[in-house]
Each structure stands twice: as C-alpha cells, then as structure tokens.
Amino acid sequence: MSYRSIAIDGPAGAGKSTLARRLAKELGYLYVDTGAIYRTVTLAVLRAGADPAEEKDVVPLLEGLDIRMAYNDAGEQRMYLSGEDVSEAIREHMVSGAASKVSAIPAVRTFLLDFQRRQARENNVVMDGRDIGTVVLPGADMKIFLTAAPEARARRRLLELEQRGQRADYDAILRDIRERDHQDESRSVAPLKRAGDADLFDTTQLNLEQSLAGLLSLVKEKIGP
C-alpha cells in the first residue's frame, strides 16, 4: 500500500504548524512537525555545552543521540531525548535561536533525512518544515509553500506570547523573525525556498479558519476528497 503525503514549507510564524496540524486532523493523516526534530537535536547540543554554530563540535554528538518521536493518546507528537519527554523544553527561546544554527550544518540535515522520510513511508502524512517539498519528500502528492508578511507574523507571535501571560516587545519579535528568515534562506544546504511545483499560500490577510478552508479546498482540487 502506498501512502499519501502533503509537504508544507514556509518561514517561522506563517501559521504552518497550527494549520498543518488542523489539516492532518481533517484528513485523518499523521502530522509530522520536523522543526520539533531539529529542536530536539539542538537541545542535545546545548545540554552538551557545545557551540550550536560550530560544526566540529556538533557533528561528533550526532552518533550518540537517542531521539524518538511518539504520539500520545490525544494524537499529539511528543519528542524524547534519551528517554526524557522534551516536548516543552524544545520550545524555549534559547532553543529557537540555536536551532537555526544547528539546522544549517549539513551533517545534521543528512542525519535527520531518513528519520523524516521513514514517517512518510509508513503513514499518510502532513509534514511541515523548511525543505520538505524540495529535499525530504520531493515526490509528495501535494506541496504548499505557506507564507505571510513578517509584520503579520510578528503581530501573531506577540498575541500568542501575551495570551500566555508573557511580556513581549513587537520590534524585538519582528527583528528576530527577520533574522531567522535570513538565516534559513541564506544557508547553503537546503535553504528555505519554494519548490517549483509548490502552491503558494499567503495567510497575511486570513485568519486561521479562512486559511484552513483555503488549504482544504486546494487539497480537494489536487488530490481529491
């Protein structure tokens, strides 16, 4: 039996993970958040006291890494590092910044390639990341490049932090977003870019429900009900 795959790529804060998760639920597919996998490697690098930007410090750590991904009863993806559930720890601000550096190291990407592909060999998946349509699943049944203006992404992030009761500054968030975009787009290995055969989907003017409805109709058009 062959499985269906939908690849969703795009910059941080375009609503990718929320939309990919909701889309997967609507379709009954497994949602694979590949950013969480990179974040888990990054957490291991930080905990080892290594410099996330130094290839020669990071590469020797890969061999001994014990990373696992599992789904709980609610269908949520959980990440484990050496048996410890690190699903919350990988969301910390320090990990976000360092993940951009760790994910630019070619050996890290090669190391994670099969890990990601295996999920799509064994399940119908909606997989999101930066290079899913271009590198990880070039033969995906459908590819979506999801984006939004940096200012819209910064506003959404600010709201999210405020709702969690955290203090945040719009200008600092916008600066952070622009910096991460630049790092993700300019790296030499698997840079963030739209695959030639990906549908562009811009959520700047759309709320979550409108975006989901738009994505669902795209999916119906491309791969049927």
Does 129 engage in binding with ligand DC (CB under 6 A)?
Answer: yes
Q: Are 23 and 30 in contact (CB under 8 A)?
A: no
Q: Which is nearer to ligand DC, 41 or 73 (CB)?
A: 41
* Interacting span for ligand DC (CB under 6 A) from 32-40, 51-59, 169-177, 205-213: 32-40
Q: Are 52 and 42 in contact (CB under 8 A)?
A: yes
Does 58 engage in binding with ligand DC (CB under 6 A)?
Answer: no
> Per residue in 84-113, is it b (16+ CB within 10 Å) or e — as a string?
eebbebbeeeebbebbbbbbbbeebbebbe
Does 35 engage in binding with ligand DC (CB under 6 A)?
Answer: yes
Does 176 engage in binding with ligand DC (CB under 6 A)?
Answer: no
Number of neighbouring beta carbons within 10 Å of residue 114: 10
Amino acid letter at 114? D
Does 12 engage in binding with ligand DC (CB under 6 A)?
Answer: yes
Tell which one of 29, 38, 145, 201 touches ligand DC (CB under 6 A). Answer: 38
Q: Are 116 and 136 in contact (CB under 8 A)?
A: yes
Does 99 engage in binding with ligand DC (CB under 6 A)?
Answer: yes
Residues forming the site for ligand DC (CB under 6 A): 12, 34-35, 38-39, 99-100, 103, 129-132, 180, 184
